[in-house]
Amino acid sequence: MGVLEGLQPASVFHYFEEISRIPHGSGNIGKISDYLRDFAKERGLFHIQDKFGNVVIVKEEAAGFEKEEPYILQAHMDMVAVADEGCDIDMKTESLRLKTEAGKIYAEHTSLGGDDGIGVAYCLALLDTEDIALPRLEVILTADEETGMEGAKEIDLSMLQGHRMINLDQEEEGIFIVSCAGGARVDVKIPLAEDSGDTQNMRQLTMRVKGLLGGHSGVEIDKGRGNANWILGALLCGLSQRFDIRLSKIQGGQADNAIPREAEALILVREEDVAEIDAFLKTEEEKFRTELGEKDPGFALEKVCHNGIVCDKSCTKESTAQALACICKLPNGVIDRSADVEGLVETSLNLGVMSLQENELRLSYAVRSSVDSSRENLCRHMIEIAERAGARAKVKNAYPGWAYRKDSPLREKMTAAYRELFGKAPTIQAIHAGLECGILAGKIADLDCVSIGPDLSDVHTAQEKMDIASVERVWNYLLKVLTECGQK
């Protein structure tokens, strides 16, 4: 007997439990993908499984729904597989150990994969049901969402007929996501020339920006937090305009989509400038501290003036100044806010990683925008700035955004159905992070899309929990939306 047996809606929990028996962490989706294919095969449903593991399943409409436009339903089949430290479960080969407690489901010692197993379970329950008459359903179950939305990027959807989609990968009941950002990575490489021995009498100075809060470059970019790479770049650029400094080392950040919390540089300075440099940096540090204020209260600048030699390689005064100027000329942070959705950042970028390697200053930016032309324009602008500074910039992994639709029949219909069922309006939200909806919107003409889901907490951790009553409410709501026809 299953752990979830007896819970309602029975078919949804039945499939959720089935999924939890099959290991399905990102990068390990072969078995879950085959399970979904076999599910369709056994029921005689049209299906496609591609070489990336994505599965598309179509269920034709019931009698009476011939004139109703199809619904696309979408979820991702992979989960973030994390376990408590010291836990003996091998998530690559073993089932999850489901438990229920106080109205919630969790997996003992591991993540639950409610994100997005519950979305998949809703889809399977709908495809399986024989007693509920439904319009044509086109179900997209993508592979490896959590590791870069790889499945969604590769999937071919040319066979679909629908133009309205309910994405089931949202973690808060009552919040409808209606727009997300697209993105790209921009890598800038600025050449540096090596010093040839006129630096014997120079002192070495380590500068370290630290204590910043950091965060996700989509979710926290509008919080006014400091970017350690950018602050260090600005400080160094200020120095290079006033003094003879030579860059020896620089390092900050780990991923282009994380706001860096720390960055460090080793520079050479002239002995006679040390006192003045110190005074200059004190003033600048104070300026940043005041500007960041309560938004990033831990900001600190550490300086260590070395007596001996820490590193015997450095770059020329001219190339140091030129490279640092390029950091300051390139934009960073929030570029633009939405005119349609209050408070939403429309376009931004984050200098996530900075390093000095092979006589190049390398910068990696995560660019985001819900408006594709704004993203493309920002990337072009960066390339131009870089090229003018004698550097190279490359745009990688660009993916489209999901722009807010002023006119969205699906959002209107779903909002009305929500009011009828729950007596209140849902919260309509746009986010600045990337979702699969953005990528899929780039593949389905004129896509009208809303993202919903039941309450999940602590996703991507071993403390992940899913609210049982919320799963049932979202199921009833979903059925109401799908079975009400004649809106078009």
Q: Which residues are catalytic?
A: 78, 145
d(CA 433, CA 414): 23
Is the Cβ of residue 119 or residue 352 nearer to Zn ion in the bound state?
A: 119
41-74 burial, b if ≥16 CB within 10 A, otherwise e? eeeebebebeebbbbbbbbebbeebeebbbbbbb
| Nearest CB to Zn ion, comparing residues 176 and 365 | 176
- Minimum CB–partner distance for residue 485 and Zn ion (Å): 29
How far from 126 is each of 10, 72, 75, 132, 299, CA to CA, in Å? 12, 12, 13, 8, 52
Residue closer to Zn ion (CB basis): 143 or 250: 143
Judged by beta carbon, residue 115 or residue 138, the one nearer Zn ion is: 115
What's the min distance (Å) between Cβ of 147 and Zn ion? 11
**Backbone φ and ψ of 218, nearest 5°:** -95, -45
Contact 139, 160 (CB under 8 A): no
Rounded least distance, CB 16 to Zn ion, Å = 14
Provide, rounded to whole angstroms, the least separation between the CB of residue 115 and Zn ion. Answer: 4
**Smallest distance, Zn ion to C-beta of residue 422, A:** 24
Q: Rounded distance, CA 112 to CA 461, Å?
A: 8
Beta carbon of residue 346, minimum distance to Zn ion (angstroms, whole number): 23
The DSSP code sequence of 236-269 is HHHHHHHS-EEEEEEEE-S-TTEE-S-EEEEEEE
* Integer CA distances (angstroms), 113 to 98, 309, 469, in order: 11, 52, 17
Distance CA 449, CA 187 (A): 32
C-alpha 122/C-alpha 475 separation (Å) is: 7
Cα distance between residue 229 and residue 112, in whole Å = 36
Q: Which two tokens stand for residue 472?
A: 């049932």
Q: Where does this chain bind Zn ion (CB under 5 A)? A: 115-116, 169
Tokens 């370290």 identify what position? 208
The Cα–Cα gap between 326 and 6 comes to 63
Q: How far is the CB of 464 from Zn ion (least distance, A)?
A: 11
Q: What residue has token string 């006014």? A: 224
Min dist CB 32 to Zn ion, Å, is 14
Dihedral angle, C-alpha 348, 352, 357, 362, nearest 10 °: 0
| Residue located via tokens 């049209």 | 46
- Whether 204 contacts 313, CB under 8 Å: no
Distance between CA 105 and CA 358 in Å, rounded? 51
Compute the distance between CA of residue 35 and CA of residue 46 in angstroms, rounded to an integer. 15
